[in-house]
Amino acid sequence: MRSRANQQGSKTMSTLLQQLNDDLSGVVSRVRRSVVQVSDQRGGAGAGTIWHPDGLIVTNAHVIAAGGPLRVTLSDGRVFSAKVLARDVNRDLAALAIEASDLPVIEPGDSRRVHAGQWVLAVGHPWGVREAVTGGIVIGAGRDLIELASATGRDWLAVALHLRPGHSGGPLVDVHGRLIGVNTLMTGPDVGVAVPVNAVKQFLRQGLGSEHPAPSPEASATSPEPATDFV
């Protein structure tokens, strides 16, 4: 009886793990379509997240810090010139626009619901590897990150995963594929930091007048450059 029960238990666990694997693979497939590569005139590149189907893209301010022409490459290989609509270097966020439509977007989540121990996925282009995925768990959120929050006056998400150069500006999503943050920097060997998605919504409201604006050529003022270790 015990042997049969053990076999049934092993089969159930195997089925659950396979279902989890299939679910996460589906999430990754959907999310990757909404991740772009942002390149500057120096050849430096980071990631970006499609926020609006008509070409609004969110990335990090430090990804575009070099200035000059910007190029956005979609997951399907199409390449577009990009305009900077708004930038906040204190929050390390930037909004870009490309002349495109019907683009796939990631459903924004609610970072107030993010909690320690939650599984997350980060997507970007580390070392030129397109749409690479890494996973980990949330280890802190909001102003619980006392040292970082007190230094910046901002809320953040800290995750136990390794962000590499090229992950900056890419999405941090939950296991359902909802956007909960924008990958930004490393604070230790295996601790990545992301801007919470609710801060992204606030940035867009302040810079563009709406959480879901259609792209506009209007650009807002920038703020002073912060000192930190970006990826």
Residues 6+ apart with CB under 8 A from 92: 60, 61, 62, 184, 185, 195, 226, 228, 230
Domain ranges of the chain: 111-199
From 39, 52, 168, 174, the catalytic residue: 168
Please say if the pLDDT value at position 197 is more than 90: yes
Most confident of 87-96, 142-151, 214-223: 87-96
> What pLDDT is recorded for position 11?
62
pLDDT digits (tens, 9 = 90+) for 101-118: 999 999 999 988 998 899
From 40, 88, 92, 174, the catalytic residue: 92
pLDDT class for 224, splitting at 50, 70, 90?
Answer: very low
pLDDT class for 186, splitting at 50, 70, 90?
Answer: confident
> What pLDDT is recorded for position 37?
95
> What pLDDT is recorded for position 200?
95
From 40, 52, 62, 155, the catalytic residue: 62
Active site residue 62: yes
pLDDT class for 92, splitting at 50, 70, 90?
Answer: very high
> What pLDDT is recorded for position 26?
80
Measured CA to CA, the distance from residue 111 to residue 132 in angstroms comes to 23
Active site residue 155: no
Residues 6+ apart with CB under 8 A from 40: 63, 64, 66, 67, 68, 69, 70, 71
Q: What is the mean pLDDT of residues 166-184?
A: 94
pLDDT class for 226, splitting at 50, 70, 90?
Answer: very low
In this prediction, what percent of the chain has a pLDDT beyond 70? 80
> What pLDDT is recorded for position 54?
95
pTM of whole model > 0.85? no
- The architecture (CATH level 2) of 111-199 comes to Beta Barrel (2.40)
Active site residue 210: no
